[in-house]
């Protein structure tokens, strides 16, 4: 019986021709090589991958009909070849559309389709984007607060927010944690959070820690008139995590922290629960394990979809520069860009940042960001309170019309000046794209 090499239900498709409201479209970078072979059928590999993420297997069975594939199989809606000089190699951007009919708005099953066995088919494959159809998007609530809600809670309309990461990661008593939080709170910090590795240990239970921190913040609020949001870690097994969230809120928690290792489904369970009416931060460190296969912008979009009000994000300027300049910045775009009814999520460029980086971070990410600092606040030469003050001054300096270093020289900005003395500052390099030769760049007259 005559059969085409490429299944028409999968291949004779375009992005313009599908009902985009009913599909999730995954975009992959694929780079495949068969050394010594002079005939490379890339579509054969793409077809196997498309079937693996939907209806098929390596050997077609009787029940796997054209009618079934028409409804449930993924469709190739984009293939954009990247030229190579190697005849044994094929590289391309590949777009597969996965029908929602297969799994509804079940985020866990959706991940199996777009980021499951397909990674076994190509030695170099990376999921770089995901388009979410309206039918899928409408099934999610997204962040309860997001950028506008957190700004309203804190009474801060426009500027970036500072956040104190409690350090060391574990081992402190509740009283030690509370004292650290008090010192940064009177220094003006906007938010504070447990480290992602903070859990219940012999000398520190999460509820005891919350009670102690709340008492410290009560004291600081009387002195400053301002109360930071404290993001308490409740990361645990999913069922226990919800129980911990309820108990924490009953005990006065005004923010929660969950790590990505708990899973997107667990994050969604917490954020969509009407009884859990406080901001939820998503800590992304566990995403590092899948960096080669899934891009940070994709993860950011999915975490936003599942309700993260704020989320740690990578930056090239950190102490662990995991991604390119563009991927770090594009991650924040995914968190802030219009996405149906879903509220925007605060970006948090992180890891080894210090006050001297404020102009670069704000210049790259805009004002809708939270800047988290652990050592870059607590390591200030004049102590924790001075470290918190230095960040507030750095943010103000980065947003002023005055040159950053000149702003730091003002007498009232001693804390920022001391931070720059210890850690320095960076002037962002420039790439001369528009006028390639520096001699052609216009000069400005000093007035």
Q: Which active-site residues does the annotation give?
A: 167, 283
Burial 177-206 (b: 16+ CB within 10 A, else e): bbebbbbbbbbbbbbbbbbbebbeeeebeb
Q: Which residue in this structure is represented by tokens 């950190």?
A: 318
Q: Give the residues across from 30 on adjacent strands.
A: 92, 125
Q: Which of 61, 59, 32, 39 is nearest to 48 (CA)?
A: 59
Q: Which two tokens stand for residue 155?
A: 């009474």
Calpha distance 305→134 (Å, rounded): 12
Would you list the DSSP string of 338-377? --TTPPP-EEEE-SS--GGGHHHHHHHH-SSBEEEESHHH
Q: Which of 389, 316, 320 is nearest to 357 (CA)?
A: 316
CB 254 within 8 A of CB 193: no
Q: Which residues contact 141 (CB under 8 A, 6 or more apart)?
A: 271, 272, 307
CB 296 within 8 A of CB 331: yes
| CA-based torsion, 394, 228, 215, 234: positive or negative | negative
Calpha distance 365→380 (Å, rounded): 24
Q: Which two tokens stand for residue 171?
A: 């081992």
């Amino acid at each position: 019986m005559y059969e085409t090499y490429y299944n028409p239900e999968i291949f004779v498709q375009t992005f313009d021709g599908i009902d985009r409201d009913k599909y999730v479209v995954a975009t992959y970078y694929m780079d495949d090589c068969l050394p010594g072979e002079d005939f490379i059928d890339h579509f054969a590999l793409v077809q196997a991958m498309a079937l693996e993420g939907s209806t098929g297997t390596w050997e077609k069975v009787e029940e796997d009909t054209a009618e079934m594939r028409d409804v449930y199989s993924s469709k190739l809606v984009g293939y954009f070849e990247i030229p190579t000089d190697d005849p044994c190699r094929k590289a391309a951007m590949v777009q597969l559309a996965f029908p929602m009919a297969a799994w509804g708005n079940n985020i866990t099953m959706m991940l199996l389709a777009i980021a499951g066995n397909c990674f076994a088919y190509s030695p170099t494959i990376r999921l770089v984007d995901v388009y979410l159809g309206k039918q899928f998007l409408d099934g999610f609530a997204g962040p309860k607060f997001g950028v506008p809600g957190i700004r309203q809670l804190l009474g801060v309309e426009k500027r970036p927010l500072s956040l104190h990461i409690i350090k060391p990661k574990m081992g402190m008593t509740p009283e030690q944690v509370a004292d650290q939080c008090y010192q940064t709170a009177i220094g003006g910090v906007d938010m504070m959070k447990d480290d992602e590795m903070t859990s219940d240990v012999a000398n520190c239970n999460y509820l005891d820690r919350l009670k102690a921190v709340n008492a410290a913040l009560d004291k600081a609020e009387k002195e400053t008139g301002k109360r930071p949001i404290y993001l308490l870690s409740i990361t645990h097994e999913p069922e226990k995590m919800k129980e911990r969230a309820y108990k924490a809120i009953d005990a006065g928690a005004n923010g929660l922290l969950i790590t990505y290792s708990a899973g997107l489904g667990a994050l969604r369970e917490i954020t969509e629960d009407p009884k859990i009416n406080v901001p939820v931060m998503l800590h992304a460190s566990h995403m590092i394990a899948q960096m080669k296969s899934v891009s940070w912008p994709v993860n950011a979009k999915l975490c936003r979809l599942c309700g993260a009000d704020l989320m740690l994000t990578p930056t090239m300027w950190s102490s662990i520069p995991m991604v390119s300049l563009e991927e770090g910045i594009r991650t924040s775009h995914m968190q802030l860009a219009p996405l149906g009814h879903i509220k925007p999520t605060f970006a948090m460029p992180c890891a080894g940042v210090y006050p001297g980086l404020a102009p670069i971070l704000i210049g790259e990410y805009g004002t809708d960001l939270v800047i988290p600092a652990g050592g870059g606040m607590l390591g200030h030469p004049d102590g924790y309170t001075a470290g918190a003050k230095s960040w507030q001054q750095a943010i103000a300096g980065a947003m002023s019309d005055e040159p950053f270093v000149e702003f730091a020289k003002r007498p009232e900005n001693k804390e920022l000046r001391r931070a720059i003395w210890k850690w320095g500052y960076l002037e962002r390099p420039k790439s001369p794209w528009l006028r390639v030769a520096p001699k052609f760049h216009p000069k400005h007259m000093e007035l």
